[in-house]
Every structure is written in structure tokens, then in C-alpha cells.
Amino acid sequence: MVAVTEKGIHIVNNGHVTSPQGFSAGGMHAGFRKTKLDFGWIHSDTPATAAGVYTLNAFQAAPLKVTKESIEKENLIQTVVVNSGVANSCTGKQGIQDALETQALAAEKMGVAVDHVAVSSTGLIGVPLPMEKIHTGIEAMDDSNHASPDNFENAILTTDTVTKHIAVEVEIDGKTITIGGAAKGSGMIDPNMATMLSFITTDAAVDHDSLQKALSDTTNKSFNMITIDGDSSTNDTVLVLANGQQNNKVLNESHPQWASFLQAFQYVCEGLAKQIARDGEGATKLIEVNVGSAPSDNVASQVAKAVISSNLVKAAVYGTDPNWGRIVTAVGYSEQPIDPDKVSVSLGDIAVVKEGLPVYFDETYAKQYLENETVELNVDLGNGSHVSTAWGCDLTYDYVKINASYRT
Amino acid sequence: MVAVTEKGIHIVNNGHVTSPQGFSAGGMHAGFRKTKLDFGWIHSDTPATAAGVYTLNAFQAAPLKVTKESIEKENLIQTVVVNSGVANSCTGKQGIQDALETQALAAEKMGVAVDHVAVSSTGLIGVPLPMEKIHTGIEAMDDSNHASPDNFENAILTTDTVTKHIAVEVEIDGKTITIGGAAKGSGMIDPNMATMLSFITTDAAVDHDSLQKALSDTTNKSFNMITIDGDSSTNDTVLVLANGQQNNKVLNESHPQWASFLQAFQYVCEGLAKQIARDGEGATKLIEVNVGSAPSDNVASQVAKAVISSNLVKAAVYGTDPNWGRIVTAVGYSEQPIDPDKVSVSLGDIAVVKEGLPVYFDETYAKQYLENETVELNVDLGNGSHVSTAWGCDLTYDYVKINASYRT
């Protein structure tokens, strides 16, 4: 079943990373965590053109270094293996060796080139990767009992409460191209990437450099615009694999339908980003901050990030408190060129500030609005035509509870 | 009674803004809040040389604009009036008029020049200043029943749970100079000033430009190094008044004892900053982040701020979880030039990371350490000789509780 958005994007019902042609996925319990699935994989029937974006954290974890270097060699990935529970971060030379060994074992098991395997880890920092569990996981990669995208999507989760997945279809060269994606991320999420893993697959043929640029640009408008707690992790990764099984004319910026592909690709990234934000640790609501009438894209996105990152705004939304002063305050400390007398704010459709001054609004109605599962905070800077949207979640008791005792 | 620190600074027992010669203070309930004291004042017998630092928030509240412009005229302030409950922020032209009227009424009541009155407000944003309550407060300024520094310190509080005050003595030109201070601030506290009001008094004679420079420099190492929730408010102000009643030779950078004065002044600012951080909304602990061996002051302070601002670090300290991975992660995303292989971390004296790699430590002992009322997180960047310290508090259920329902 396929639903159609207002932009003409076809959304696959219950779409997954395996919705595009030629991809399979699986996951199982290898013992990194007590009981939950903790080892997963994606496999393409043929080597896929690959692009990646990685955390900007100075402490970049071992699997990121290994994956990045491998992709740089031929721009191809055929198999992705992911474990949760142990991040293989701050593990020094041993960590690099363990990531390389994981890659080599998976390559052997799946009969693919070593450099065509991407490795990814999420979980505790500073703990060596337990290689016997990696062995257990890799041993199971060809066992059809474990094959299912749902197993993969569950295996990559840590404190997440739900799996995140999506797929869309778009017509290119008269062929139906599918783009699928899965993600994890719940805590330690911040605009500049986060303990956030995202894997996107497509059966389109895409030029590598165009794919890399599309991923970087789109990440800035999706994954880099979500925040849960402002912390960027050492392991954040977004990988995209394009295996070309639809035999379309290779997509690049000069392809007449590049814009259609980009739009569908953006839809997948934004969809995953919103699913991550909505499932923030302890969250009860998705908050969407829309900034409009900004003098530049950068001003718009910096203001959006300042508002979505404010603990006070997040706590007010949790408490259904229409305390717009906190929104205005966050706009003001964004360190952007703001003219206070031109700023207007609304909660959904409820105007609360017009050109720097409070306007009368019905508090009861505003409180009711803030009880919605999705809350829109709209900021108009009155000084230009650029826009940006950021997503996050409310700050709740459960966020504190989860993070006061993650390890113990 | 006077205690002496290791640096030879004499700490006045139970010191206040009225400890220096020639200052009085008071406070009363004028009706801005339901029952607590909400209107306070400081008065100097003679006009005092004044310096100020103000919020960098683009939405600067009306009283800041009025106070700043007044100080700029003669660099003198004799009377300070402060209300809590209503911030007089986002109140447009009416807000400026109300602040000017408050100033004029206080000047008349106290028989001082209009431009020698500083006005300050803290509380809800977007609500007009209720002038009848300002009248009530000003009417009481000469009533000896309300005179007491404790009343002043209580009147300026909002969600604070304790008053913040300090005084120290230092010998200058053979005379005993006293520096006193009072502050408020509990939520919406961030490194770049915050809903933080701080008033410092001294009976020293100090050159205006030297005083302003000392205040700006010292603020960067004290008030600007505390964070509770990362939000900088529209009303943050630090004022210092030097009334010269000790008749010392006017202090400036070339005075032989300038360094002694600066050290005592820094002690007062740091003392107030730590009292604010310790009383953060919902806080159970003071966290002190010490960054050492940094290539510059700026790198040191940016790293210290990144760690002290991390919700994940703050929640881990609350939960006595020695999860050093979160500290390392915050160091890594500080956007500073960090060499991961040179970074060492300790919790108090307990080494947990040495040159980028985890070291064995006794988890039980570490958990016990984190139960202390003051917790030190030490980060050594292994790349220089610059240092910085930042202060904050743990993130608790009560922070969420307080901020989910501030207004309602």
C-alpha cells in the first residue's frame, strides 16, 4: 500500500531498509546486552555506491574511522554490520584492530570485499568490543531465521522505545525507485550529529559525488536539526547505499529528475529525524520549531536550534505552560542579528507575540494546544525570507531518570 | 569575626552588601508576588563610582537600558532598587517609561539625583510593571522596619531557595577595605550572563575605568562560567558600587596594591557565582569543572563550559554514575582543537581516563565520591598551560518539576 503526500511523494506503508530492490537485513541477540537484539546487518546483492557523514566530535570512535577509510577507497559498500551495547569508542589501537577484525570476519562470511563492509557501533564508551560476541553475531548473518528488517531495526536500538523506519517511492526514468531508511537515536542527540545511527538504502543508480553532496546537504536540514539534549556523541553516522538495481540512468545534478530524487531523499531523512526526535529519552511530545522571515539560512537555523535546545522551553511544553517568554529569550541569546521589535511568535496558530510585544491570547486554549502530541512553535524574525525547521522533544522527569542511571 | 583563606583574603563572617562602610539595604513585600519579599534596595550615603555588565540577549529588558544609560552619564550610582516577580522585559515603550518612572520616584524619595538611581527587575517576561506596587515599595524605602541586608537579599530572589551573600576585607594603603556582594539566580542561568542579578559594594575609592575593566574581566572568570540550564535571560545584570568612604588613594591599575584588590574582588564574584550554581533549580550538588593544560584561556573555558553544560553529565552526577564517557564526549564536541590521545580525566582524585584511554578505577569508591555535595570533574588536555574553571549543578527531577509549571 502506498500513500501520497501533498508533494507527490509516494510513502510505502510500513517501509523499511529492505523496501528497495536487492537489499536484505537481519538482527539477533549476540550477547552485548542482556536480552534485547543487539547485532544487526544490511546486505545488498551487489556492491552499492556509498556515502557517509560522521560525528564532528573530536573523539571519533574506531568503527567510524574504519568505515570512512574503507568507503574512500572505492566508494562502494555491500554489507553493513552494527552492534549496540558497546560503542568501541575511546578504545585506542585495540578498538581499531577490533573494528578491522569485525569488518574482515563479516566480509569473509558474506563473500564480499573487505573494503565493501561498513562497521558501526553504539553503546557504552571506553569498553573494549567483546569479540566473541561479534563472532556469534557474524556467524548468524546467513541464518534465515534472523533475516527481517524489523530484527535489524530492533538490534540497533539502545534507550530508544520504538524502531524508526520509512520508505518512499519516486518515478525516475519511468522506473519506480525506492528509498528506504532505518535509524536509532534517543539520548545524546544534538544538531551536529548525535548518538544517532541512520542507514538509508535505495535501488537507484546514483553518482557517488552527487550522492555524497545530497547526503551532506540533506543532513544539515534533517539530522543536524534535531536535538534531544545537546550532546553530540562519538559514534554518530549516517550511511547511504545506492545499489542501482533499477537500472535508471545514473542520477546526478544534471539528471532532469534530480530534484524529484532529492525531494524523496529529503523526505526519508526528515522522516527518520522526526521519528528520532519524537522518541527522545523520556519524551511525551514532538516539538517542531519553525523560523521564518530570517535574513539568511544560517540565522534561521541558529535561531531554530537555540529554541529547540532550550531546557526551559522543553520543560514548559512538557508542563503545557504557554510561557512564550522562554521562546523569546532563546531567540535573543542565539547570538544572531535579531531586531527584537520585529519578532513575532505563535504556538501553532495562536499568536502570543507580535513585533516584540505580547498579544492577548486565551491561556486555556493555549494550554490545550500544548497537550497535542506534536507542538509547533513558530518564530517570525520579520527580517528576510529565509526559513528553517528544527525538531526536538519535551524535557520530562523520565529524561532525568533514564540518564541518572544509564550504566548502573 | 574574620576567617582567612589560603590566599590571605579575609572573609567576613556572614558578610553582606552592607558590610562596606556607608551602605544600607532593605526589602519588603510590595505585592509583586503572593507573600514573599519582592522589593529591595541598596543605598550609599554618598554617590558611588559605578560599573556594570549586562546580558548579551538581544531582548534586553527596559531596566537594563535605563540603568546603563544613567551610569554612562556620570559613572555614579547612589541608590539601587530591585523588584522580583515581574521582569519588565518585552514591554516596549511602556516598559521604558515604567523603568524611568521607578527611577524618578526612588530618586525623589531618597533625595538623590535621578541618574544616580539604578533600577533592576527579575521575574515574568511580557507583563507590564505594576506601578502601584512600585509606589508601595518606594514608599517603604525610608522605613527602618524594612532595613536589613537580609531583607534585600530575600526580596531579589525568584525560584532561589537560599540568599546569596558574601563579604571580604583587604588592606589597601593601610586601610581596611571591604567588598560585599549579594546575588540571585537559580534558573535560566548560562555562561553568558543569566537571570542573574548581582550587586557588589565596596568602600574603596576606585577609578571608574579600572573598575569597569575589573568587573568585565572578573565576570568572565566567575558569573560567565556558571551554568544551570544554558539559558541566558533578558535581565542579567552585575553592578558594582565603590563609594570611597575609606579614603584610600584611588585604586587603578598602577596602584601598588591593585592586585590585592583584584584578588579580593575576584573572590567575591566567584563566591557569589558558586552560591548561584549550588542553588540551581532542583540542584542537590555543586559541580566544579577544572580544565588544565589547555593551549589557550579560550580553549580551556570553552571545554569547561561544554562539560558543565552537558545534561548527560549533570544527570550522571545526580545519579552518582561515574560515566566518564559523557565527560569525554562533551570535551570532544566543544569544537575546540582537542587531541583525544592527550586527554586525561579524573573525578576528584580518581583518575578515570589517561591520555585518551580508560584506566581501572574502583566504581564503588567513585560512586561514593559523587555523593559529595561538591563534585570536581577534572579534565587535562595535555597540550599547554592554560586553565579554566566552570561551575554548575546536577540535573534532577525537581528541575523539570519547577520548570514545567513556573507560571501556572
- Could you report how far apart the first and last alpha carbons of chain A are, in Å? 44
Chain A residues with CB-CB distance to B401 below 8 A: 397
- Average pLDDT, stretch B64-82? 97
**Interface TM-score (ipTM) > 0.95:** no
Mapped onto helix, strand or coil, the DSSP state of residue B127 is coil
Cα distance between residue A40 and residue A45, in whole Å: 17
Q: Which of B59, B334, B405 lies nearest to residue A328, judging by beta carbons?
A: B59
In the predicted model, is pLDDT for residue A293 greater than 80? yes
In the predicted model, is pLDDT for residue A208 greater than 70? yes
pLDDT band at B224 (very low <50, low <70, confident <90, very high): confident
pLDDT for A56: 82
Given an 8 Å threshold on Cβ–Cβ distance, is A405 in contact with B326? no
Among B193, B312, B331, the strongest candidate for a mutation testing the A interface, having the largest count of A CBs within 10 A, is: B312
Chain B residues with CB-CB distance to A60 below 8 A: 340
Mapped onto helix, strand or coil, the DSSP state of residue A119 is strand
Cα distance between residue B82 and residue B52, in whole Å: 15
In the predicted model, is pLDDT for residue A315 greater than 80? yes
Among B54, B55, B57, the strongest candidate for a mutation testing the A interface, having the largest count of A CBs within 10 A, is: B57
Given an 8 Å threshold on Cβ–Cβ distance, is B325 in contact with A57? no
Beta-bridge mates of residue B3: B11
Rounded to a whole number, what is the largest CA-CA distance in chain A?
68
| pLDDT digits 0-9 by tens, A115-160 | 999 999 998 888 899 999 999 999 999 999 999 999 999 999 988 8
Hey, what domains does chain A have and what are their CATH numbers? 2-278 (3.60.70.12), 286-404 (3.10.20.340)
What share of chain A has pLDDT > 70, as a percent? Answer: 93
In the predicted model, is pLDDT for residue A285 greater than 80? yes
In the predicted model, is pLDDT for residue A190 greater than 60? no
Burial zone of A39 (CB within 10 Å; 0-12 exposed, 13-18 middle, 19+ buried): buried
Q: Which of B92, B343, B395 lies nearest to residue A357, judging by beta carbons?
A: B92
- Average pLDDT, stretch A55-73? 93
pLDDT band at B191 (very low <50, low <70, confident <90, very high): very low
Residue A232: closest C-alpha in chain B: B333
Given an 8 Å threshold on Cβ–Cβ distance, is B340 in contact with A233? no
Residue A315: closest C-alpha in chain B: B404
Cα distance between residue A193 and residue A239, in whole Å: 13
Chain B residues with CB-CB distance to A309 below 8 A: 230
In the predicted model, is pLDDT for residue B101 greater than 90? yes
Cα distance between residue A340 and residue B58, in whole Å: 7
| One-character DSSP codes across B325-382 | HHHHHHHHTS-S---GGG-EEEETTEEEEETTEE----HHHHHHHHTSSEEEEEEE-S
| One-character DSSP codes across A160-185 | -SS-EEEEEEEEETTEEEEEEEEEE-
Chain A residues with CB-CB distance to B396 below 8 A: 400
pTM of the model: 0.83
Q: 10 Å Cβ neighbour count for B11?
A: 18
pLDDT band at B192 (very low <50, low <70, confident <90, very high): very low
Nearest-CA distance B407 → chain A (Å): 7
Nearest-CA distance A95 → chain B (Å): 11
Task: Give helix B311-318 / helix B297-309 axis angle, nearest 10°.
Answer: 60
Out of A67, A195, A202, A219, pick the active-site residue. Answer: A195
- Active site (catalytic) residues of B: 195
pLDDT band at B2 (very low <50, low <70, confident <90, very high): low
Q: Which of B315, B328, B334 lies nearest to residue A404, judging by beta carbons?
A: B315
Given an 8 Å threshold on Cβ–Cβ distance, is A321 in contact with B406? yes
Higher pLDDT, A363 or B404: A363
Given an 8 Å threshold on Cβ–Cβ distance, is A328 in contact with B125? yes
Given an 8 Å threshold on Cβ–Cβ distance, is B400 in contact with A318? yes
Q: For chain A, what is the mean pLDDT? A: 91
Q: Lowest mean pLDDT: which of A124-133, A203-212, B183-192?
A: B183-192
| pLDDT digits 0-9 by tens, B87-99 | 999 999 999 999 9
Given an 8 Å threshold on Cβ–Cβ distance, is B403 in contact with A395? yes
Cα distance between residue A343 and residue A377, in whole Å: 13
Under DSSP, the state recorded for A405 is S
How many DSSP H helices and E strands does chain B contain? 11, 17
Query: What H or E segment, with its residue span, contains residue A71?
Result: helix A62-74
Higher pLDDT, B87 or A335: B87
| pLDDT digits 0-9 by tens, A209-230 | 999 999 999 998 999 888 755 5
Q: What distance lies between CA B36 and its chain's CA centroid?
A: 21
Cα distance between residue A215 and residue A170, in whole Å: 17
| pLDDT digits 0-9 by tens, A2-46 | 566 766 789 999 999 999 999 999 999 999 999 999 999 999 999
Given an 8 Å threshold on Cβ–Cβ distance, is A333 in contact with B309? no
